[in-house]
Amino acid sequence: MSVGLTLAAGTARAQALPSLDRYLRAGAAHNLDVRQRREQARQLAADRAVARARLLPRLTATATYTRNSAETVVPVMDDDGTSALATITPRDQVDAGVGLSVPVFDLSTWSRSRAATYAAEAGALAAEGNGFDVAALVVQAYYQYIAASAQEASARRAATVAGEHRVVVAANLAAGRASELDLERAGAEVARAHQHVADAALARANAARSLRTLTGLDADGSAPALPSGLDPEGPLEGWLGRVHALPDVRAEEAEARAAEARAQAALMEYLPTVTATATVRTTNAAGFGDDTTWAAGVTAQWSLDAAVLGQTRSSRASAEVARLRAARTRRDQGDRIEDAWNQVEALRAKSAAAEAERQAGARAAVVTRGRYRAGLATQLELIQTERDAFTAEMSHIQALADLAAARALLRVYAGRMDEIDSYEEGPR
CB 354 within 8 A of CB 399: yes
Phi-psi category of 5—alpha, beta or left, where left has phi over 0 and alpha has psi -120 to 50?
Answer: beta
For residue 338, the tally of other CB atoms under 10 A from its CB is 16
Average pLDDT over the chain, rounded to whole? 87
Please compute the mean of the pLDDT values over residues 295-300 and round it to a whole number: 92
How do 273-283 and 92-105 pair as beta strands? antiparallel
- Give me the domains of the chain, ranges plus CATH numbers: 20-55+111-269+313-419 (1.20.1600.10)
Which pLDDT band holds residue 7 (cuts at 50, 70, 90)? very low
Distance from C-alpha of 170 to C-alpha of 174, rounded to nearest angstrom: 6
Coil, strand, or helix at residue 246? coil
Q: Mind listing the pLDDT tens digit for each residue in 386-421?
A: 999 999 999 999 999 999 999 999 999 999 888 886
Distance from C-alpha of 262 to C-alpha of 254, rounded to nearest angstrom: 12
Please compute the mean of the pLDDT values over residues 90-94 and round it to a whole number: 88
pLDDT at 3 (0 to 100): 41
Helices in 179-303 by DSSP H: which ranges? 180-215, 236-240, 247-267
Coil, strand, or helix at residue 48? helix
Distance from C-alpha of 400 to C-alpha of 391, rounded to nearest angstrom: 14
pLDDT at 163 (0 to 100): 92
Nearest to 35 by CA among 121, 117, 131: 131
Distance from C-alpha of 142 to C-alpha of 24, rounded to nearest angstrom: 10
Which pLDDT band holds residue 14 (cuts at 50, 70, 90)? low
CB 222 within 8 A of CB 5: yes
Distance from C-alpha of 247 to C-alpha of 111, rounded to nearest angstrom: 24
pLDDT at 5 (0 to 100): 35
CB 397 within 8 A of CB 127: no
pTM: 0.80
Cα–Cα separations (whole angstroms), residue 34 to 126, 249, 414: 10, 18, 19
Residue 357 half-sphere exposure toward CB, CA atoms < 13 A: 18
Cα–Cα separations (whole angstroms), residue 300 to 113, 282, 328: 21, 27, 44
pLDDT at 210 (0 to 100): 94
CB 357 within 8 A of CB 396: yes
Q: Mind listing the pLDDT tens digit for each residue in 345-363?
A: 999 999 999 999 999 999 9
Distance from C-alpha of 72 to C-alpha of 89, rounded to nearest angstrom: 5
Which residues contact residue 383 at a Cβ distance below 8 angstroms, ignoring those fewer than 6 apart?
185, 189
